[in-house]
Structure 1
């Protein structure tokens, strides 16, 4: 690279993505002369005067710079130092900033070349971009060269402006680096404090995932058990319905059987069972087995016993009522006879117990 050109590594040490496409230093926008051979490498080059600092020095040196081409070349060398390299044969070559003037068409070509370089290198249109900075620095050096050829004083002023811009840019870069170091010092303990939080977060996420898996497994188990319970309930309902139907059928058969068997057997029949079987055949009732017949006979006997008991109880109750009525009438008559005074007749008889006590 030419002198005064900022290296990308120094400009953006932490931004490797910007270093993928660099501007080729051999294809600089600053115009150089054709390379020529240097016979004596150790030969002393003419000393370059330092930049004038006062206005008086400008006035003194302006006449010399405007007249002599050597002084103009010295100012051009301040823009960028001469290039020197050695071939395999050992010959040393050198290039200097070109002192040839520039025409209007060459300036238009320079503008097109700048636009093409911005597109080829992928420079950004806005914000900080090292590629765009390098391209515009080279273009600014070329403009300084063109101005220096026509007027050396203007070239010196532009050189000072360029150096001042580089100094401000470098100071901003140093401030930025210091800020990065300060931020690193502050961020490092924060990052270290975040490590246990990240671990806790990961453990909590694992626990959450485990709980979700357990919930899914329990939901699946719940669905399976619900299905099994529904199937079991359906089977039980079907079997219960069949059992109820069978009980209803047997109950109807037993009712018919009891109705037939409960009829009194006519006199002169020798065997009751034969008579019952005949009745069943007449009513088209299937003849039951011995157990069914026994059950029917037992049920019929129980019913008869219940009826007899109920009749006996009703008779006893009626008798007791009649006896109570008779006793009340007798007690009332005896009381009226035994009463001597009207005061005693006015007494109220509350219950049968009072009457019995008075009789005694």
Structure 2
């Protein structure tokens, strides 16, 4: 028989429920497991017979077993087509059991090299098993107290699950923002490069236009000088011509006097 994973929770000896998994009905799973009849090949010895209890005590014990099974469901596993069920133990715990539980917890924490601080799934699993064992011990003595501890356990697990979901969503959000920032950085660098290229082209265009303006101004200045020189020469020519005509006119008019 292959036992299930070792847990800090105390369980009874496993019992054989069905020898043929194909013939087992879903209703058989909900039935309370009973010890297998003694056979020559039975892997598990029969558990010791319990003493008969009074009707009130038997009813209370049955109710306690039902509450224990609802809080800590029985473990099931198959081997060679046979279904084995192991229910949580209903034996009351003693002071020695609590001391042994603490020692076993410390031993497994050291054996599995659990972290002492920070987030550690191994430490969380072992402490969860230890808390379940404490709930089992308390439930046997007081079912109401065990049910209240169950509410506390479920609330703690729900809170941890909420924080885990929040952590995962925040990590995913951070990754998205980082990718967006990286992509935005690449786009911004590309845009900067394009703007710098455009700036160089505009500067080149401005320099060309400045050179053209200087050439145009230079030609305009030269043309102005030429026009002024020509205009001055024409004025001088016209003045000389006017003077000659005036002299001729005076020469023609003078004899008649």
Give the TM-score taking structure 1 as reference length.
0.40
Relative contact order, higher structure (CA 8 A, sep 6+): 2
Q: By how many angstroms is 1:125 displaced?
A: 1.4
Contact 2:74–2:85 (Cα < 8 Å) also in 1: yes
User: CA RMSD, aligned part only?
Assistant: 2.8
Report the 3-state secondary structure (helix = DSSP H, G, I; strand = E; otherwise coil) of the residue aligned with 1:86. Answer: strand
Give the TM-score taking structure 2 as reference length.
0.55
Residue 80, structure 1, aligned to residue 72, structure 2: yes
Corresponding residue for residue 17 of structure 2: 38
Q: Residue by residue, what CA displacement relative to the aligned partner does 1:120-153 show, whole Å, maximum 9, x if unpaired?
A: 2221212221111111000000000000111111
Contact 1:65–1:152 (Cα < 8 Å) also in 2: no
Contact 2:14–2:86 (Cα < 8 Å) also in 1: yes
Corresponding residue for residue 145 of structure 2: 154
Q: How many residues align?
A: 158
Corresponding residue for residue 29 of structure 1: 8
Q: By how many angstroms is 1:94 displaced?
A: 0.7
Contact 1:148–1:156 (Cα < 8 Å) also in 2: yes
Provide the rounded CA distance (Å) in 2 between the counterparts of 1:87 and 1:180.
Answer: 42
Q: Is the alpha carbon distance of 1:121 and 1:191 closer, same or farther for their aligned partners in structure 2, counting shifts above 3 Å?
A: farther
Corresponding residue for residue 68 of structure 1: 60
Contact 2:8–2:129 (Cα < 8 Å) also in 1: yes
Contact 1:66–1:152 (Cα < 8 Å) also in 2: no
Provide the rounded CA distance (Å) in 1 between the counterparts of 2:111 and 2:11.
Answer: 23
Q: By how many angstroms is 1:93 displaced?
A: 1.2
Corresponding residue for residue 126 of structure 2: 135
Residue 176, structure 1, aligned to residue 167, structure 2: yes
Task: Identify unmatched segments of 5+ residues in structure 2.
Answer: 33-55, 189-257
Report the 3-state secondary structure (helix = DSSP H, G, I; strand = E; otherwise coil) of the residue aligned with 1:187. Answer: helix
Task: Identify unmatched segments of 5+ residues in structure 1.
Answer: 1-23, 48-63, 198-360
Q: By how many angstroms is 1:113 displaced?
A: 0.8
Report the 3-state secondary structure (helix = DSSP H, G, I; strand = E; otherwise coil) of the residue aligned with 1:136. Answer: helix
Corresponding residue for residue 94 of structure 1: 85
Residue 189, structure 1, aligned to residue 174, structure 2: no
Provide the rounded CA distance (Å) in 1 between the counterparts of 2:103 and 2:110.
Answer: 11
Q: By how many angstroms is 1:75 displaced?
A: 1.2
Q: Is the alpha carbon distance of 1:97 and 1:177 closer, same or farther for their aligned partners in structure 2, counting shifts above 3 Å?
A: same
Provide the rounded CA distance (Å) in 2 between the counterparts of 1:125 and 1:67.
Answer: 44
Larger Rg: 1
Q: By how many angstroms is 1:196 displaced?
A: 9.5
Q: By how many angstroms is 1:87 displaced?
A: 2.0
Out of 185-194 and 142-151, give the one that drifted further.
Answer: 185-194
Provide the rounded CA distance (Å) in 1 between the counterparts of 2:75 and 2:10.
Answer: 12
Q: Is the alpha carbon distance of 1:187 and 1:65 closer, same or farther for their aligned partners in structure 2, counting shifts above 3 Å?
A: farther
Question: 1:267-282, aligned counterparts within 5 Å?
Answer: none
Q: Residue by residue, what CA displacement relative to the aligned partner does 1:258-288 show, whole Å, maximum 9, x if unpaired?
A: xxxxxxxxxxxxxxxxxxxxxxxxxxxxxxx
Report the 3-state secondary structure (helix = DSSP H, G, I; strand = E; otherwise coil) of the residue aligned with 2:5. Answer: helix
Contact 2:4–2:77 (Cα < 8 Å) also in 1: no
Provide the rounded CA distance (Å) in 2 between the counterparts of 1:34 and 1:195.
Answer: 65
Report the 3-state secondary structure (helix = DSSP H, G, I; strand = E; otherwise coil) of the residue aligned with 1:72. Answer: helix
